[in-house]
Amino acid sequence: MTTAVVLIDLQQAIFRGRGGGRQAEADAALEAAGARAAELLAAARRAGLPVIHVQHDGPAGHRLAKGSPGWALRDQTAPAGGEVVIHKTASDSFLGTALEATLRRVGAGRIVIAGCMSDFCIDTTCRSAVAHGFDVVLVADGHATVDNGVLRLDQIIAHHNATLDGFDAGNHAVSVRPAAAVIAGF
C-alpha cells in the first residue's frame, strides 16, 4: 500500500486577522505546524512518496482570494516540480476536487495529513478520507488553527487529536501520531 502525504491550506494568509486578541499565539502555532509539515515534506521527498498540496481558493475580498498574495502557499512547504496542487473551495478537500482520483492514480491506500485549520479543513478531510476508503495518519503536531471564541487553539488541536484518533468508517480509520513517529515510518 502506497502512502501519500497531503498538506492542506499551508497558505500565507491562512490565519491573517483570525487570531483575535491572540494573533501572536496563532502565528506561533502556524509556524510550529509549518515546521513539522516541512520536516514531513522533506522526509516524504527523500522516501519518494507522492506529495499532494491542497490550496483553498477563496472568493474576491477573502484573505485567501485566488491569486492574491495571501492565497500563495507558504515557502517552507511550497510544491516542488511534479507535486500536484489540488484547488478547493470547501473544508472537505475531496468535495468537488480531483483529490480522490489523484490518490487512486498514485496507488495510495494511506494518506498522511498535515496543515490548517484543525477544526475545519483538517477535521473534515480526515473524516471524508476514511469514508472514501483511505486510511489516514493525522500528524498530531503538524496541524494548527486559531481560537474560536469558546476554546483556545491549543484546546482545539488537542480535542481534534483525541477525537479523530480511532475514528473509522467501515474498514478504514484515522490514527494520530507525532511527526517524528510518522517520519520514522517512511
19: amino acid identity, one letter: G
Say whether the peptide bond before residue 117 is cis (omega within 30 degrees of 0): yes
pLDDT computed for residue 136 by the predictor: 98
Q: Rounded to an integer, what distance in angstroms lies between the CA atom of residue 25 and that of residue 99?
A: 31
The CATH H-level (homologous superfamily) assignment of domain 2-184 is Isochorismatase-like (3.40.50.850)
Catalytic choice (121, 122, 140, 182): 121
Q: In sequence order, what DSSP letters do the residues of 163-175 get, joined into one string?
A: HHTT-EETTEEEE
Mean pLDDT by 10 residues, the chain (186 residues): 96 93 95 97 98 98 96 97 96 98 98 98 98 98 96 98 97 98 98
Q: What is the pTM of this model?
A: 0.98
Q: Rounded to an integer, what distance in angstroms lies between the CA atom of residue 16 and that of residue 163?
A: 27
Q: Rounded to an integer, what distance in angstroms lies between the CA atom of residue 28 and that of residue 46?
A: 27
Spell out the domain ranges in the chain. 2-184
Contacts with 162 (C-beta within 8 Å, 6 or more apart), sequence order? 176
Residue with cell 469558546: 150
Whether 121 is catalytic is yes
